[in-house]
Amino acid sequence: MSTRSIGGGGGPSGSRYHPYIRDDHHRSSREEVSRRSRDHHRRHGSNQRSRIHGHHGHRSRETERGPHQQHRHHEDIESRLSSLAIPRLRSSEERIRLFSAHQHTYNQPISMICSAIEDARKQILLKIYHISSEKIILSLVKQARNVPTRVQYQESPNIEALSAGSSIVLEKRHASAILHKKTLCVDESLVISGSANYTELSLQKDVNLTLRMRGSMLYEMVSRGRRGTVNVGNQQVIYHPITRVRGRGDNYRFITSEINEAKSSILISIYALNQKEILSCLEQALLRGVYIKIIVDAKESCLLQKITQDMKIRSCIYERTCEETLHTKACCIDSKVLICGSANWTGAGLNKNLEDLFIVYPLTETQLQCFLDIWKYLESNSKLVFPDSEVPSTSV
């Protein structure tokens, strides 16, 4: 797919984009992001040096903390995360915010979405798997009087009735590839995307994560479904739209390339996971001493029964015990990198559906805390899936 050059992510105009190919232009752009962030926050005194490469997010870093233990105790993880030297941005400068009903802050995602819709001045485009929230639908109906409003959706029990007579353009999905995205694009500069469907249950009760990102170049990529990398303030966002592929695709490489670079910790909260290449990559990370914990939804934990036989990673897999569905698709690596979006890490999620995936780097203090709020809730409401599995040694 050809893309034109954008923010630090596109190559020369007319060049072929490939997310796994390195080139000097992409590397220098991502280095510039980290350099500006470090220079702006020299008071943090980071001794760490990072070299950032290309669209795909590969990072070659010097060892930060000496020899890694083969496995870290659960209670030690928070102190290690907070001690990592990470470039931090002031909250007032953040153009990316994380929303979830299970955070201490930014915990009203429906209000945030409705405000974004009602503040629109140019256009609204919504690509959504399931929508039924009357608040959101009525906000769309109201604003459709003022700006062009288009909704592409897979399922909805009430949007046709609630929007009857309005100017909303409805496009119900009938093709074989399921539209599983949950993405709202507003006014050529705002992108809201994540794991939550636009239902009261999904946004107010279930465990989900929604990103609000401001940037015109990011908007252009996402609204057009063009993969690429772009700077959003002092951070970098890698966008990877997923379309249906024949046979076994390689969209998992977008995820495994990040896992391969993990140095300290990998925290995964996801509805469903059974992609064998990702599990194999996690197994290798565990063997090289990276702390790993995976929390999946109880309805989907059975997917891991056979595929993880004879794997040490079994001892790192937990399932939720709370009433709320665990519906996030999020992974935090080394407390610096966040992988999130609408796709489960399954064959359908990575090869058959229409999905959106994002990588955000480097996380700010506020963003990391929002993720950890969700993580702590899940940790206190989860149990081992395979309690009889062998726990990896904690010796060096």
Q: Give 94-127 pLDDT, tens digit per residue.
A: 899 999 999 999 999 999 999 999 999 999 999 9
Q: How confident is the model at residue 244 (pLDDT cuts 50, 70, 90)?
A: confident
How much is the pLDDT for 245? 76
Q: What percent of the chain has pLDDT above 70?
A: 74
Res. 92: pLDDT tops 60: no
CA 243 to chain CA mean position, Å: 17
How much is the pLDDT for 78? 52
Tell me the average pLDDT across 349-376.
Answer: 97
- Structural domain contains residue 78: no
- Structural domain contains residue 152: yes
Angle at 258 between CA 253 and CA 260, to 5 degrees: 90
- Structural domain contains residue 207: yes
How much is the pLDDT for 323? 96
- Structural domain contains residue 25: no
Q: How confident is the model at residue 283 (pLDDT cuts 50, 70, 90)?
A: very high
State the residue range of the domain holding 141.
97-217
Res. 277: pLDDT tops 50: yes
Of 10-24, 209-223, 271-285, which range is least confident? 10-24
Of 10-19, 39-48, 233-242, 285-294, which range is least confident? 10-19
- Structural domain contains residue 247: no
How much is the pLDDT for 45? 38
Angle at 207 between CA 160 and CA 385, to 5 degrees: 125
Tell me the average pLDDT across 320-347.
Answer: 98
Q: What is the CATH number of the domain that holds 156?
A: 3.30.870.10
Q: Which residue has the higher pLDDT, 207 or 77?
A: 207
Give pTM, 2 decimals: 0.78
Report the number of distinct structural domains present in the chain. Answer: 1
- Structural domain contains residue 361: no
Q: What is the 3-state secondary structure (H, E, C) of the chain?
A: CECCCCCCCCCCCCCECCCCCCCHHHHHHHHHHHHHHHHHCHHHCCCCCEEEECCCCEEEECCCCCCCCCCCCHHHHHHHHHHCCCCCCCHHHCCEEEECCCCCCCCCHHHHHHHHHHCCCCCEEEEEEEECCHHHHHHHHHHCCCCCEEEEEEECCCHHHHCCCCCCEEEECCCCCCECCEEEEECCCEEEEECCCECHHHHHCCECCEEEEECHHHHHHHHHCCCEEEEECCEEEEEEEECCCCCCCCCCHHHHHHHCCCCCEEEEEECCECCHHHHHHHHHHHHCCCEEEEEECCCCHHHHHHHCCCCHHHHHEEEECCCCCECCEEEEECCCEEEEECCCECHHHHHHCEEEEEEEECCCHHHHHHHHHHHHHHHCCEEECCCCCCCCCCCC
- Structural domain contains residue 234: no
How much is the pLDDT for 202? 99
- Structural domain contains residue 332: no
